[in-house]
């Protein structure tokens, strides 16, 4: 402990704001405790949540000046899952909703402020080559195992902390408007705060085990928030599905940790990085470890074949989808691989596997996204697809590019989700007002919303252009960074010389680059499709409802504006050499001390000179993106759409896409049903009832009774028989002593 302190004392970050790093997760945790306590108080206001009734008090009248207060006050978002049920949720504002509105976002804002202070300290400290590790206490000490509860600050975790707290704060503020009228409002903020606390533990943990605590914690919060409206079975099932699918991934994570500990005897990042070369370059062992880690990532970050939980996770409230299932938690897998860059750099096989799985996921999810009607489902598949891009980046050792896409994706995808939340809010308000039970999330019921929600409309177009990869928006730079990295790795470096499943690595990577371009094309199409169907063309909501469609309040559009600005200019974080519009590669240089060595080991040294090939790549990416948008605009006819209730079923491949390739059904038939029937017929009827109950439980009873019966027969009650027994016994003992 003293040594740790001494080591910390010599670190450039010692005696700066970094010493308060422990407060980062503690602040949201405190918010969780406060909000959790509030939610446990049985506190519903009597009467409808109507500001004009006397029973509602000051808190609601504070909103009376709001332009929408006159007609939208009675809206509850207790049910945005319109496809399943109706608006049966209680329309009642929690008595302590006001306190929760302050506490929930405030702790996040404080945490973000602290993060910014630490970042300023880190930026001011100059070159920082070793992480700043702060040990709080020894957590487990048994034999060789010594796990400390320690946090580690370096450039990588700093970036993650800034994204989590920054985007998290915006989403918390958005949630005030979005969730205010839900009776479970403090509970919502309690879960959200707890999630952020665990997420910060995940990115700050100084060892795999501390990371794993956060990893499991965010899984728990994800489960709780997906099933936030648990009174509807579909939502509760979606939560369970997410949790169970993630268990498969966590199994891989655990195995990888066991292997690491068994072979290196440590789980600390710094010690693992130091000892990693003893595993042997491209040995079977290091490949196994990396692939098991990647199994964990595939679960958490929704990659093939474990992506199925993420679309269902849209059953949660939309801010949850934005924060957990787009911006932060699902990127934990990308973070883990970047963090384990030292290990992955030693296994080209594992690297290419990661890149291949990521690319296939990106393509697969993008095709499904083409035919979804639920606006949140489109975004969900788009998230899976973009996560695939990130894995393509980190898989090819372009850690900075992968992290760059993670950051820009956090901006534009959070914006898209919150924008869709704003749309759903308006749709819901309109349907609620007329008492209609139409689906508020189905794009066939939208259309022409640009007239009613101009702010959301403009901001979501910015995010769409960003995700489609149109310059100069952020997504263009990050996606281009990944694609050109894949192309460069195909040309030279360790991966191009490796073989993967008997194929030359170079050929595989060229193929991945091609598929990446195809995915970019599809991305542009499905995102434009979503925008066209939602905001353009005629309105299909309904005559009566149109009067009630309106923009969301400022507490919701405010965060959208901030995210819109970030989505637009986020690309300047990491400009490529070929486009010198400002400082080049800021993020890459920032991350260099953490992932630089691994990047060079995988990709080889890259020259600074710009070649014609690079301009060609950039041109191709831009052309593809614009082509996708043009194709979508030319081909799609929003005017021809009919509302959901009048829609006819699609045919052929369209139907296959709409039904998501029947993957859920295939899993159901090949895994779940055999598992359930096997459990019922073999494990329950056969083993539990047949062997355990019959043989062991009842069998041992029968055996005991039999032995008892035999014993009772010996007790004849005849004194003579006892005397004989004693005599013979005495003789036997004597004989044994005599003749031994």
Partner 1 sequence: MIAEALFFSAVLFTIGVVGVLTRRNAIIIFMCVELMLNAVNLSFIALSRLHGSANGQVFVLFVMTIAAAEAAVGLAIIISIFRHHKSVDLRNINLLKG
Residue 640 or 710: the one with the smaller Cβ distance to partner 1 is 710
Window contacting partner 1 (CB under 8 A); options: 271-279, 319-327, 535-543, 718-726: 718-726
Judged by CB under 8 A, the residue of 127, 144, 646, 718 near partner 1 is 718
571: exposed, middle or buried (Cβ count in 10 Å: 0-12, 13-18, 19+): buried
What residues form DSSP beta bridges with 727? none
Which lies closer to partner 1 via its Cβ, residue 609 or residue 718? Answer: 718
**Of residues 538, 720, 737, 738, which one binds partner 1 by CB under 8 A?**
720
Q: Rounded to the nearest whole angstrom, what is the least distance from the CB of residue 725 to partner 1 in the complex?
A: 11
Shortest reach from residue 144's CB to partner 1, in Å: 57
- Binding partner 1 (rule: CB under 8 A), the pick from 714, 736, 737, 738 is 714
Does position 732 interact with partner 1 (CB under 8 A)? The reply is no
Contact, 215 vs 208, CB < 8 A?
A: no
Does 724 participate in binding partner 1 (rule CB under 8 A)?
A: yes
Choosing from 10, 142, 648, 715, the residue that interacts with partner 1 (CB under 8 A) is 715
- Closest by CA to 486, choosing from 354, 612, 574, is 354
Residue 714 C-beta: closest distance to partner 1, Å: 7
Closer to partner 1 by Cβ: residue 695 or 726? 726
**Of residues 435 and 717, the one with the C-beta less far from partner 1:** 717
According to DSSP, the residues that pair with 504 across neighbouring strands are: 499
- Residue closer to partner 1 by CB (options 126, 717) is 717
Closest CA to 85 of 93, 94, 76: 76
Binding of partner 1 by 737 (CB under 8 A): no
Q: How far is the CB of 710 from partner 1 (least distance, A)?
A: 10
Measured from the CB atom, is 646 or 718 closer to partner 1? 718
Residues 661-700: x/- map of binding to partner 1 (CB under 8 A)? ----------------------------------------
The residue among 702 and 731 lying less far from partner 1, judged by its C-beta, is 731
Instruction: Give the interface size with partner 1 as a residue count (CB under 8 A).
Output: 13
Q: Which of residues 41-60 bind partner 1 (CB under 8 A)?
A: none
Whether residue 152 contacts residue 211, with contact meaning beta carbons closer than 8 Å, is answered with: no
Cα–Cα distance, 372 to 365 (Å, whole number) = 11
Output the six-digit token pair for 322: 């934005």
Query: Which tokens is 337 given?
Result: 């691989």
Q: Are 337 and 297 in contact (CB under 8 A)?
A: yes
**Which CB atom, from 682 or from 727, has the smaller least distance to partner 1?**
727
The residue from 141, 610, 701, 723 that contacts partner 1 (CB under 8 A) is 723
Q: How far is CA 542 from CA 378, 380, 455, in A?
A: 23, 27, 22
Using CB under 8 A as the binding rule, whether residue 713 contacts partner 1 is answered as: yes
**Of 344-352, 479-487, 526-534, 714-722: span binding partner 1 (CB under 8 A):** 714-722
Q: Where are the alpha helices (DSSP H) in 125-230?
A: 155-179, 185-204, 208-226
Burial class (CB in 10 A: 0-12, 13-18, 19+), 213: middle
Please identify which residue in 126, 640, 717, 737 interacts with partner 1, judged by CB under 8 A: 717
Residue nearer to partner 1 on the CB measure, 666 or 721: 721
- Residue holding tokens 């014609």? 612
Choose among 523, 525, 528, 529: nearest CA to 482.
523
Q: In terms of CB distance, is 145 or 721 closer to partner 1?
A: 721
* CA gap 404, 410 in Å, rounded: 10
716 makes contact with partner 1 (CB under 8 A): yes
Minimum Å gap between C-beta 739 and partner 1 is 19
Is 265 or 706 the residue whose CB approaches partner 1 more closely?
Answer: 706
d(CA 401, CA 599): 10
Q: Please report whether residue 719 would count as binding partner 1 according to CB under 8 A.
A: yes
Minimum CB distance to partner 1, residue 237 (Å): 59
Dist CA 738 CA 740 (whole Å): 6
Q: Which is nearer to partner 1, 143 or 711 (CB)?
A: 711
One character per residue 693-712, x = contact with partner 1 (rule: CB under 8 A): ------------------xx
Cβ neighbours for 12, distance < 8 A, ≥ 6 positions apart: 125, 126, 128, 132
Cβ proximity to partner 1: between 671 and 730 the closer is: 730
Of 281-289, 337-345, 505-513, 715-723, which segment contacts partner 1 by CB under 8 A? 715-723
Which CB sits closer to partner 1, 676 or 728? 728
48 close to 66: Cβ distance less than 8 angstroms = no
Determine how many CB atoms are found less than 10 A away from the CB of residue 102. Answer: 12
- Residue 43 has φ and ψ, to the nearest 5°, of -140, 85
Calculated CA dihedral for residues 52, 56, 62, 63, nearest 10 degrees? -60
* Shortest distance in whole angstroms from residue 729 CB to partner 1: 13
Q: Which is nearer to partner 1, 42 or 720 (CB)?
A: 720
CB distance 489 to 515 below 8 Å:
no
Q: Binder to partner 1 among 683, 727, 733, 734 (CB under 8 A)?
A: 727
CB of residue 257 to partner 1, shortest distance in Å:
59
Q: Which of 328, 184, 337, 308 is nearest to 243 (CA)?
A: 308
CA distances for 697 relative to 616, 683, 703, 711, angstroms = 74, 16, 10, 21
Closest CA to 376 of 438, 407, 419: 419
**Minimum CB–partner distance for residue 724 and partner 1 (Å):** 6
Q: Under the criterion CB under 8 A, does residue 612 sit at the interface with partner 1?
A: no
119, HSE (Cβ side, Cα atoms, 13 Å): 18
Nearer to partner 1, 703 or 721 (CB): 721
Q: What is the closest distance, in whole angstroms, from the C-beta atom of residue 734 to partner 1 in the complex?
A: 12
Within 8 A by CB and 6+ apart from 248, the residues are 295, 299, 306
* Residues 313 and 326: beta-carbon distance below 8 Å: no
Choices 258-266, 443-451, 545-553, 716-724; region in contact with partner 1 by CB under 8 A: 716-724
**């950039």: which residue's tokens?**
618
3-class state of residue 534 by DSSP = helix
Give Cβ neighbours of residue 332 (< 8 Å, ≥ 6 apart): 199, 202, 203, 215, 218, 297, 300, 301
User: What residue ranges bind partner 1 (CB under 8 A)?
Assistant: 711-720, 723-724, 727
């Amino acid at each position: 402990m003293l040594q740790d302190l001494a080591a910390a004392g010599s670190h450039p970050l010692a005696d700066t704001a970094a010493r308060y790093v422990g407060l980062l997760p503690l602040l949201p945790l405190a918010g969780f405790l406060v909000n959790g306590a509030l939610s446990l108080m049985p506190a519903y206001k009597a009467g409808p949540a109507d500001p004009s009734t006397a029973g509602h008090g000051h808190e609601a009248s504070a909103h009376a000046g709001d332009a929408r207060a006159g007609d939208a006050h009675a809206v509850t978002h207790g049910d945005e899952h319109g496809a399943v049920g109706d608006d049966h949720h209680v329309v009642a504002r929690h008595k302590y909703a006001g306190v929760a509105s302050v506490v929930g976002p405030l702790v996040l804002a404080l945490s973000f402020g602290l993060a910014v202070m630490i970042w300023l300290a880190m930026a001011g400290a100059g070159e920082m080559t070793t992480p700043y590790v702060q040990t709080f206490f020894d957590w487990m000490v048994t034999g060789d195992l010594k796990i400390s509860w320690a946090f580690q600050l370096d450039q990588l975790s700093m970036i993650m902390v800034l994204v989590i707290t920054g985007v998290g704060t915006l989403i918390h503020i958005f949630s005030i408007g979005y969730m205010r009228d839900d009776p479970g409002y403090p509970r919502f903020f309690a879960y959200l705060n707890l999630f952020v606390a665990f997420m910060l533990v995940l990115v700050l943990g100084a060892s795999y085990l501390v990371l794993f605590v956060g990893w499991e914690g965010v899984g728990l919060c994800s489960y709780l928030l997906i099933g936030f409206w648990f009174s509807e079975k579909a939502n509760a099932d979606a939560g369970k599905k997410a949790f169970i699918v993630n268990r498969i991934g966590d199994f891989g994570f655990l195995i990888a940790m066991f292997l690491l500990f068994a072979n290196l005897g440590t789980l600390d990042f710094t010690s693992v990085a130091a000892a990693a070369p003893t595993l042997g370059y491209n040995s079977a062992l290091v490949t196994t470890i990396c692939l098991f880690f990647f199994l964990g990532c595939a679960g958490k970050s929704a990659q093939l074949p474990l992506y199925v939980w993420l679309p269902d996770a849209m059953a949660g409230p939309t801010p949850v989808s934005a924060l957990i299932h787009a911006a932060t938690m699902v990127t934990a897998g990308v973070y883990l691989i970047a963090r384990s860059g030292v290990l992955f750099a030693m296994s080209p096989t594992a690297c290419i596997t990661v890149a291949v799985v990521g690319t296939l996921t990106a393509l697969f999810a993008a095709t499904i996204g083409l035919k979804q009607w639920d606006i949140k489902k489109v975004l969900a598949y788009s998230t899976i697809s973009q996560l695939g891009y990130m894995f393509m980046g980190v898989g090819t050792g372009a850690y900075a590019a992968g992290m760059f896409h993670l950051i820009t994706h956090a901006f534009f995808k959070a914006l898209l989700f919150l924008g869709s939340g704003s749309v759903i809010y308006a749709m819901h308000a309109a349907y609620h007002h007329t008492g209609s039970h139409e689906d508020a999330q189905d794009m066939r019921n939208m259309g022409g919303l640009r007239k009613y929600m101009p702010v959301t409309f403009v901001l979501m177009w910015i995010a769409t252009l960003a995700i489609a990869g149109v310059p100069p928006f952020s997504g263009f730079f990050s996606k281009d960074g990944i694609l050109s990295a894949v192309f460069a790795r195909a040309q030279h470096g360790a991966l191009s010389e490796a073989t993967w499943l008997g194929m030359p690595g170079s050929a595989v990577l060229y193929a991945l680059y091609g598929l990446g371009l195809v995915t970019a094309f599809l991305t542009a199409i499905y995102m434009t499709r979503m925008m066209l169907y939602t905001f353009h063309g005629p309105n299909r909501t309904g005559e009566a409802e149109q009067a009630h469609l309106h923009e969301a309040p400022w507490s919701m559009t405010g965060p959208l504006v901030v995210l819109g600005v970030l989505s637009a200019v986020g690309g300047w974080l990491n400009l490529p050499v070929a486009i010198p519009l400002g400082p080049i590669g800021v993020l890459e240089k920032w991350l260099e001390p953490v992932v630089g060595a691994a990047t060079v080991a995988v990709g080889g040294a890259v020259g600074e000179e710009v070649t014609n090939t690079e301009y060609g790549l950039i041109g191709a990416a831009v052309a593809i993106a614009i082509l996708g948008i043009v194709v979508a605009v030319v081909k799609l006819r929003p005017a021809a759409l009919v509302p959901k209730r009048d829609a006819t079923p699609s045919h052929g491949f369209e139907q296959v896409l709409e039904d998501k390739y029947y993957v859920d059904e295939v899993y159901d038939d090949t895994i779940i049903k055999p598992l359930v029937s096997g459990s019922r017929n073999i494990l329950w009827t056969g083993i539990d009832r047949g062997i355990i109950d019959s043989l062991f439980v009842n069998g041992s009873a029968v055996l005991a009774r039999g032995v008892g019966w035999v014993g009772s027969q010996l007790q004849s009650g005849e004194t003579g028989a006892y005397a004989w027994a004693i005599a013979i016994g005495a003789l036997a003992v004597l004989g044994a002593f005599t003749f031994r």
